[in-house]
């Protein structure tokens, strides 16, 4: 099946620093990727839609200047948490629709393994 | 805004029994539904999906039922195994591809050996 990877798998940083998380589609091209945040014992909340070659679309309440998204190629999207604070500590997960499944409709989304961020 | 919700946050079942996880959705425009399994510390894993023009779909040991009249979705797992222990999320979206997915609150399934 389709594989989506994330790097790093976990990161610990000091408050005020920036952290970059990478999301890669390994065996398919992804013009669209999605970024989610998940707090302990809660569901996944969509943060933004990453579009290759254009600006990301952010969900209501998500600060675009704090969570910078870059989709520079058809296999890579990055999420940068700028000036991270302890409240940004969370599990960040990306997903990508695979156009080679679901009859080419790109409806089936495959998720990365997640990146756990701890801000001290 | 509209959201997908679950009735039971935790479900405990005996190994070998069948499990039923329920979900209520509220967005009547959604026409594509997915069940995901998430193990601790990992990303969600696709289990099975169903379109709104169907009311039942079967996979290997899993069955998804959709009742559009009452906006209800369920996941049935036959002969539940310890490896099935995880959090299960239902999710809704629009067909047509590349649409954002809205997740329900999740149900934790605990399988008792």
How far apart are the CA of B98 and the nearest CA of chain A, in angstroms? 6
For residue A39, give the nearest of A82, A86, A2 by alpha carbon.
A86
Assign A44 a pLDDT band (cuts: 50, 70, 90).
Answer: very high
Q: Would the CB atoms of A110 and B46 count as touching at under 8 Å? A: yes
Mean pLDDT score across all residues of chain A: 91
d(CA A98, CA A1): 10
Residue of B nearest to A60 (CA): B1
Tens of pLDDT along A63-80? 999 999 999 899 999 999
Using CA atoms, how far residue A42 sits from A52, A84, B36, in Å, is 29, 21, 14
Given the structure tokens 């998204």, which residue do they identify?
A: A69
Look at A27 and A85; give whichever has higher pLDDT.
A85
- The H or E element that residue B13 is part of is strand B10-14
Mark yes or no for CB contact A43/B42 under 8 Å. Answer: no
B41-72 pLDDT, tens per residue? 999 999 999 999 999 999 999 999 999 999 99
What is the residue-wise DSSP string for B48-61? EEEETT-SEEE-SS
Contacts of A8 (CB under 8 A, 6+ apart): A21, A115
CB burial class (10 A; 0-12, 13-18, 19+) of residue A56? buried
pLDDT at A108: 78
What are the chain B neighbours of A1 within 8 Å (beta carbons)? 46
Q: Is the pLDDT of residue B2 over 50?
A: no
Nearest CA-CA distance, residue B80 and chain A, Å: 22
A37 has a pLDDT exceeding 50: yes
Distance from CA of A113 to the nearest CA of B (A): 4
Give B24-45 pLDDT, tens digit per residue: 988 999 999 999 999 999 999 9
Chain B residues whose C-beta is within 8 A of a chain A C-beta are: 32, 34, 36, 41-46, 49, 89, 93, 95-106
Burial status of residue B45 (CB atoms within 10 A of its CB: 0-12, 13-18, 19 or more)? middle
């Amino acid at each position: 099946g389709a594989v989506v990877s994330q790097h790093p798998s976990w990161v610990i940083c000091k408050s005020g620093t920036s952290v970059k998380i990478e999301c890669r589609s390994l065996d398919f091209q992804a013009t669209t990727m999605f970024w989610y945040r998940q707090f302990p014992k809660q569901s996944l909340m969509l943060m933004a839609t990453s579009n290759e070659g254009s600006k990301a679309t952010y969900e209501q309440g998500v600060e675009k200047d704090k969570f910078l998204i870059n989709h520079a190629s058809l296999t890579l999207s990055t999420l940068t948490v700028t000036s991270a604070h302890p409240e940004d500590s969370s599990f960040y997960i990306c997903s990508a629709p695979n156009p080679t499944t679901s009859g080419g409709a790109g409806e089936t989304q495959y998720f990365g393994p997640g990146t756990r961020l701890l801000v001290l | 805004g509209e959201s997908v919700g679950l009735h039971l946050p935790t479900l405990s079942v005996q190994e070998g029994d069948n499990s039923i996880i329920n979900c209520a959705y509220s967005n009547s425009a959604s026409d594509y539904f997915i069940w995901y399994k998430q193990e601790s510390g990992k990303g969600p894993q696709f289990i099975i999906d169903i379109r709104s023009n169907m009311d039942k779909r079967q996979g290997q040991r899993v069955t998804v039922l959709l009742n559009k009249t009452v906006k209800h979705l369920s996941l049935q797992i036959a002969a539940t195994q310890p490896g099935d222990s995880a959090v299960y999320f239902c999710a809704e979206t629009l067909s047509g591809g590349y649409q954002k997915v809205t997740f329900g609150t999740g149900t934790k399934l605990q399988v008792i050996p």
